[in-house]
Structure 1
Amino acid sequence: MSPIDTALAALDLETKVGLLAGQDVWSLPEVPHIGLRSLVMSDGPIGVRGTEWTPDDPAVVLPSPTALAATWDPALARRVGTLLAQEARRKGVHLLLAPTVNLHRTPLGGRHFECYSEDPLLTAGIGVGYVLGVQDGGVGATVKHFVANDSETARFVLDAAVDDRTLRELYLAPFEAVVRAGGWAVMSAYNGVNGRTMSENGLLQNGLLKDEWGFDGVVVSDWTAAKTTAGTALGGLDVAMPGPGNPYGAKLVEAVRSGEVPESVVDDMVRRVLRLAGRVGLLDGVDPVVAQPPPEVDGDALAKEVAERSFVLLRNDGTLPLASPTLAVVGMAAEQARILGGGSVHVFPPHVVSPLDGLRDRGVELVYEPGVDPRTKLPAASGPEWTDPETGETGLRMVFRDAAGAELGRVLLDEARTGWIGRMPVELDSSLLDTVEVTALFRPLVFGEHRFGVAGIGDFVLTVDGEVLFDDKQVAYDDDPAAGILLHPETQVTAEVAGPVLVSLRHKVWVRPGLGTVVGLTLGHAEPGPSDDELIRRAVVAAASAQVAVVVVATTEEVESEGFDRRSLALPGRQDDMVFAIAAANPRTVVVVNAGSPVEMPWLDDVAAVLLTWFPGQEAGAALADVLFGDAEPAGRLPTTWPVREDDAPVLDVDPVDGVLTYREGLFIGYRAWQGRDVRPAFWFGHGLGYTTWSYESIEVTDLATVTVTVRLCNTGTRAGREVVQVYLVPETPLPDRPTRWLAGFASVAAEAGETVEVVVEVPERAVQGWEDGAWRTLTGTYVVEVGHDYGDTRLTAELKIT
């Protein structure tokens, strides 16, 4: 008998079922008598949070998943995974809840920035690299959200109606690639698919994932997604999180004893948990997959490299790279960089290099103007103006109290923003916790009417200088824990401040079934300031007197985040007005777009250059400075097609009708849907200029065991660069109800100025197959193989016959 079977045989029913239901928000219980230690999980995908959500436990923050996909480099994704495994080990985490391989079905998707691409092949390549890298480090990766979780609106309850061909060829394809590459865990989505919620979807979780694909790992629920006991167990969900108190535990024991769920089903579920525990080194008698971790990775250096490799130069009249001009730097995001998206991806970085920091560190002569504020919520109170009223230390004091008002503990916050679930940042029994109070002495730099914000769920009392400004309850937007904990509503109030004042925000904590005690609040603050018109005027004056204006525009957490879909692709606030005004004052205006997904750029033809930096992670400014001045090339290529206007996008539907979201567009998403339309996008899938030019010289196609495309190309510019060679297939005779052209392979290659290089691109068998009549069928016929710089820029062609 194997060690896993031996361990399983030593467990009684209650203990077995206990391994299938979390013992808390993030972990499974230990079972000492079989040598099993507790398995700890944590969110990703751009940093490892650990079990505490606090600035006291920072993590390396990498660029957004859209940025990683923009590198078109699975090998780089694998290095990212190795770094994240290193971070996970440091934090005692064994299973990383990432990556997200749902597709960019629509640019309005709220977690668009957290997914990779509109194309399943590119998504699969980056996703497989990421998962293998994490597992190279001896940590499990959890590919999610299985499946059709491509929008956020009503994600708990919506049913995605997707035909089998579309499901197989698009949305399931990245999951299949990860599973067949050896992934250890899959997260089941909140939503339903074709009439059955994913937590209970035996057709997909048992029949497809475990039986057809041969997946031998663990299927874990999204947090609080499991709602039933027998239906969930029989539907293929192995682990229900969080616990205790979810539908497994005592309820599953009862279901087994009543005969509703065979104990053999439970045994299979437990065997999978034990197998995962063995793989990550938590089960005695089982050798871990990785006995010795890989060499340590420099997290700061890799974060910077990924950022540089991901930046996409959308437009350039030759202004970039810069020489050594005087700069006017404009935009709040230049000083307060938005390095990551909102929601469960959020982690606290050890430091942040803002664009302004990066340029100043370089010694660039510059002036800075913040321009207009795009945020609708106030920033969290922070800075040297806020001090503990008792000790005088910089920061805001938070005191934890029980129902009788007795103090349970205290902590000093760098900023007045918290997000703790279950486990608090100090040792206390969270079941006793009743209220928390944030207090600080605020010494204003500017006198006048200050704005204060109360953000969070539950009862709050805000007092400024002894006056109660807010005493009321705030309710969640909906029942989504992410929206409730991270995207809380905010009430803003004002107070005249003419000197030091004592500020206090008291909050009765929120208890959510399945999650326990939640402390999630923000004390916001903004000092008096000029109007938007005046801020734009100041920015224009600065830009007019500089040789080059660098304008950093950005989305906000209220625009791109888990928990809701976007309602507009326009930049928030009056940022567009600001760019138009600056471009009119200085023809050498470079716009840096700090956004994780597509935005409208009505000023595109009026500016000298546009550089897309995505959400660039903690080394944002260091990478930006190097790219602007040419020390590094913006080597990224778009992983999704960008429209000129929101209304031009082929798919905008994110709202279920009577609970059903119908994927009526079928296979036609992204560039597939733009094909043959009268309206053209602003930038095609795969677009990116870089700082050099490329000549595609020859192509050779071979069809032996595997179809390969060998491309010879030359760097015809005056500097080193990187090119992404993209291979598309075009059926000579159009196939009914299918796209006329699709991505079939890609490869990234670097070359020095004047150097000729050769790259071989493998075309996977699935690229010439379709799901027809319940099986994969080869789409026989003659194809034109098109190779080029992006979807809209073909450089070479050849013929391929598929029989």
Structure 2
Amino acid sequence: MINYVAYSANLDDKTMHEIYLWPFASSVAAGVGSVMCSYNRVNGTPACQNKRTLNELLKEELEFQGNVMSDWGATKTGIESVLGGLDIDMPGSDGLMGIALVPAVQKGTIPEARIDDMITRLLAPYYLLGQDQGYPTLDLDRDAIGDHYKINRQIGMAGIILLKNINNVLPFNVTTNYSFLVYGEAASRSKHGFGDSGFLQLGGALYQGGGSGYVESTYAVDPLTSLLSKARKSHLQIRYITNQLDINVINASFKSHGFTNAKCLVFISAFSSEGFDRLDLHAADNGDLLVSIVAAGCAQTIVIVNSVSQLNLEAWIDHPHVVGVVWSGLPGSEYGPALIDVLFGDYNPGGKLVFTLAKHESDYGTDISLTENSNYKEGVFLDYRHFDKYHITPRYHFGYGLSYTTFSFSQLNILKAEEGQHTASSQYRQRRTRSYVNIGISRFYEPVYEITFVITNVGKVYGSEVPQLYLGFPAEAEEPPKVLRGFERVYLAVGESKQVSLILTQKDISYWNVVNQRWAIARGTYTVWISTSANNADAKLQSSFDV
């Protein structure tokens, strides 16, 4: 056994089922072949030898037929891990499994049937994915780049979120907006290129996160490079200062000839990674101060937030000169071109926040755990659910994002999704039909209600909206005031309308009954909202159904 101390994620049964087990259950129902156990403990027991999570929840309750593999070096015991549900030890060089298990099998400590089960589970995904039938050979030098820059650019644009746009300062018009001042190291290239993910936090534009998911990119285009290219093409004037600590130079720049009425673009960032956590929710390298300095000297300041996750924007968000805020997130290698397309109106932003941005860090109801025990006391009331429960007004709501156009909603209908009756329900069933569809949990993913409505682009430009389906439960379920149960991104030309159909499955309208240890459907009235964010004021349509 390897001695170690890892924090323990401590949570109750309802929270486990309704929040953290939920995506794993959906993955199992969709036919996932492998699940990874993590470094930490869960309710006191190491995740890779946790009988409760791996055997009882994953393999028994969810009837998972694939394998469980450890995160790299997360296995800390041999026998206990095998009996606890681990099938594959990665990287396998720790001497805990393999030949080391033979004595335990000979003594009967590990049943031979368990070894057979491990082997079966290891091979099952191989055949499920057809790797025995003409699967491509391994070639680490194969050029697979092709014209992927095109889809990279599309993805980058689609993810950009417009948070603030006073007096329609965006998009820029090159015939009237021709001088721009650019500030911040996050506008330009990283000091260390793309070769080492560990150095990404040391300045420059952020394209992706770090850690195990980091990919050494072949190239990446920063926003400043794209702005300069746009300036050449459209006859713009650009001045930039990437040293955001040089306050004197920044203040002097506002008086530059030809730039007294310039638009000022301020780039701030925040980075975190596996092994590199943030200890606060503020922009790196005094980014908040940079915004405040520029806003004090520039009447038309637009802030571009290049962050891995939530930031506290309160130091400057209400400044009257901060007229625009764009959340670029981590847009990938085509960051520069994607951002320029959004800023100059070649692409209409339609991204939405996947978290709430609070006014105060204490508003989230959670905090950094500096001890070995991380107690998930918030239960199922996290993010927007927490804000709803305690009637806390955030700066920007979950699901929020502006557009250069506007949309109207109408004709909300709630239909029972009987077999073969409705197109959306039938398509939903077809998408979920697989060779392994006989697993027991599949019944929970059967459509029970089909929600239809019409959305129309009533604005002046082509664009997209993301209708979000929120569900309110009867009191018996002890659920948050509303829970997101579906969404769809809809692209529409000017004047175009489209009927949208969203599905509620049996599981969507169920709650976990901790006493009876099963999913249950509460009797009473369920409320349906079609909204453009978690803000109640953004609800466009409302109806209900009784069970």
When residues 279 and 744 of structure 1 are mapped into structure 2, their CA distance, relative to the original with a 3 A threshold, is closer
Contact 1:316 1:610 in 2 (8 A): yes
Amino acid paired to 2:528: V
Q: How do 1:686-725 residues align onto structure 2 when only pairs under 5 Å count?
A: 686-705=399-418, 706-725=448-467
Amino acid paired to 2:470: Y
Q: Give distance in 2, aligned partners of 1:638 and 1:355.
A: 21
Pairwise CA distance, 1:360: 2.0
Partner of 2:291: 579
Give the one of 158, 165, 171 matched to 1:321.
Answer: 171
Q: How do 1:115-134 residues align onto structure 2 when only pairs under 5 Å count?
A: none
Contact 1:552 1:594 in 2 (8 A): yes
Contact 1:320 1:629 in 2 (8 A): yes
Contact 2:268 2:284 in 1 (8 A): no
Pairwise CA distance, 1:229: 0.9
For residues 157-183 of structure 1, the C-alpha deviation after alignment (integer angstroms, 9 at most, x for no partner) is 112211111100000101110111011
Runs of 4+ in 1 over 6 A off after TM superposition: 288-291
Partner of 1:406: none
Q: How do 1:625-704 residues align onto structure 2 when only pairs under 5 Å count?
A: 625-656=340-371, 659-704=372-417
SS in 1 for 2:404: coil
For residues 402-450 of structure 1, the C-alpha deviation after alignment (integer angstroms, 9 at most, x for no partner) is xxxxxxxxxxxxxxxxxxxxxxxxxxxxxxxxxxxxxxxxxxxxxxxxx
Amino acid paired to 2:541: L
When residues 224 and 246 of structure 1 are mapped into structure 2, their CA distance, relative to the original with a 3 A threshold, is farther
Give the one of 479, 482, 490 matched to 1:738.
Answer: 479
Pairwise CA distance, 1:722: 0.5
Q: Give distance in 2, aligned partners of 1:372 and 1:754.
A: 46
Is residue 532 from structure 1 mapped to residue 246 from structure 2 by the alignment? Answer: yes
- TM (normalized to structure 2)? 0.83
Amino acid paired to 2:352: R
Amino acid paired to 1:213: L
When residues 297 and 267 of structure 1 are mapped into structure 2, their CA distance, relative to the original with a 3 A threshold, is farther
Amino acid paired to 1:730: G
Give the one of 154, 163, 168 matched to 1:305.
Answer: 154
Q: Give distance in 2, aligned partners of 1:545 and 1:228.
A: 67
Partner of 2:238: 367
Contact 2:160 2:327 in 1 (8 A): yes
Pairwise CA distance, 1:211: 2.4
Partner of 1:114: none
Structure 2's unaligned 5+ residue stretches are 138-143, 190-204, 419-447
Pairwise CA distance, 1:358: 1.4
**Higher relative strand content:** 1
When residues 321 and 768 of structure 1 are mapped into structure 2, their CA distance, relative to the original with a 3 A threshold, is same
Q: Give distance in 1, aligned partners of 2:134 and 2:416.
A: 40
Q: Give distance in 2, aligned partners of 1:327 and 1:169.
A: 48
Q: Give distance in 2, aligned partners of 1:361 and 1:304.
A: 16
Q: Give distance in 2, aligned partners of 1:371 and 1:296.
A: 31
Pairwise CA distance, 1:754: 1.4
Q: How do 1:162-173 residues align onto structure 2 when only pairs under 5 Å count?
A: 162-173=11-22
For residues 338-361 of structure 1, the C-alpha deviation after alignment (integer angstroms, 9 at most, x for no partner) is 111232222221111110111222
When residues 347 and 212 of structure 1 are mapped into structure 2, their CA distance, relative to the original with a 3 A threshold, is same
Amino acid paired to 1:343: G
Q: How do 1:424-435 residues align onto structure 2 when only pairs under 5 Å count?
A: none
Is residue 604 from structure 1 mapped to residue 317 from structure 2 by the alignment? Answer: yes
Is residue 765 from structure 1 mapped to residue 501 from structure 2 by the alignment? Answer: no
Amino acid paired to 1:704: A
Give the one of 18, 23, 27 matched to 1:178.
Answer: 27
Q: Give distance in 2, aligned partners of 1:366 and 1:735.
A: 62
Q: Give distance in 1, aligned partners of 2:254 and 2:369.
A: 39
When residues 536 and 187 of structure 1 are mapped into structure 2, their CA distance, relative to the original with a 3 A threshold, is same
SS in 1 for 2:338: helix
Pairwise CA distance, 1:653: 4.2
Q: Give distance in 1, aligned partners of 2:252 and 2:307.
A: 24
Pairwise CA distance, 1:309: 0.5
SS in 2 for 1:767: coil
Partner of 1:616: 331
Is residue 197 from structure 1 mapped to residue 41 from structure 2 by the alignment? Answer: no
Partner of 2:518: 775
Q: How do 1:380-391 residues align onto structure 2 when only pairs under 5 Å count?
A: none
When residues 695 and 297 of structure 1 are mapped into structure 2, their CA distance, relative to the original with a 3 A threshold, is farther
Q: Give distance in 1, aligned partners of 2:224 and 2:338.
A: 12
Pairwise CA distance, 1:650: 1.9
Partner of 2:468: 726
The structure with higher relative contact order (CA 8 Å, sep 6+) is: 1
Q: Give distance in 1, aligned partners of 2:45 and 2:94.
A: 23
Pairwise CA distance, 1:565: 3.5
SS in 2 for 1:790: coil
Partner of 1:262: 111
Amino acid paired to 1:532: D
When residues 796 and 159 of structure 1 are mapped into structure 2, their CA distance, relative to the original with a 3 A threshold, is same
Amino acid paired to 2:394: P
Give the one of 226, 232, 255 matched to 1:358.
Answer: 226
SS in 2 for 1:537: helix
When residues 538 and 274 of structure 1 are mapped into structure 2, their CA distance, relative to the original with a 3 A threshold, is farther
Contact 2:182 2:266 in 1 (8 A): yes
Contact 2:33 2:67 in 1 (8 A): yes
When residues 237 and 688 of structure 1 are mapped into structure 2, their CA distance, relative to the original with a 3 A threshold, is same
When residues 764 and 600 of structure 1 are mapped into structure 2, their CA distance, relative to the original with a 3 A threshold, is same
Pairwise CA distance, 1:277: 3.3
Amino acid paired to 1:226: T
Contact 1:642 1:684 in 2 (8 A): yes
Amino acid paired to 1:352: A
Partner of 1:798: 543
Q: Give distance in 1, aligned partners of 2:94 and 2:376.
A: 35
Q: Give distance in 2, aligned partners of 1:634 and 1:538.
A: 33
SS in 1 for 2:55: helix
Partner of 1:464: none
Q: Give distance in 2, aligned partners of 1:156 and 1:277.
A: 34
Q: Give distance in 1, aligned partners of 2:460 and 2:254.
A: 34
Structure 1's unaligned 5+ residue stretches are 1-154, 374-530
Pairwise CA distance, 1:532: 3.3
Contact 2:241 2:250 in 1 (8 A): no
Partner of 2:435: none
For residues 201-247 of structure 1, the C-alpha deviation after alignment (integer angstroms, 9 at most, x for no partner) is 12221222122222222211011110111101111111101132341
Q: Which moved more, 1:668-677 or 1:623-632?
A: 668-677
**Higher relative helix content:** 2
Percent of aligned pairs with the same amino acid: 33
Q: Give distance in 1, aligned partners of 2:119 and 2:239.
A: 59
Q: How do 1:441-460 residues align onto structure 2 when only pairs under 5 Å count?
A: none
Q: Give distance in 2, aligned partners of 1:780 and 1:353.
A: 55
Q: Give distance in 1, aligned partners of 2:406 and 2:264.
A: 25
Amino acid paired to 2:346: D
When residues 623 and 686 of structure 1 are mapped into structure 2, their CA distance, relative to the original with a 3 A threshold, is same
Contact 2:412 2:454 in 1 (8 A): yes
Pairwise CA distance, 1:572: 2.0
Contact 2:477 2:522 in 1 (8 A): no
Pairwise CA distance, 1:334: 1.0
SS in 1 for 2:133: coil
Is residue 275 from structure 1 mapped to residue 275 from structure 2 by the alignment? Answer: no
For residues 113-132 of structure 1, the C-alpha deviation after alignment (integer angstroms, 9 at most, x for no partner) is xxxxxxxxxxxxxxxxxxxx
Amino acid paired to 1:722: S
- TM (normalized to structure 1)? 0.57
Q: Give distance in 2, aligned partners of 1:680 and 1:197.
A: 38
Amino acid paired to 1:754: G
SS in 1 for 2:525: strand
SS in 1 for 2:475: coil
Pairwise CA distance, 1:371: 4.1
Q: Give distance in 1, aligned partners of 2:90 and 2:129.
A: 19
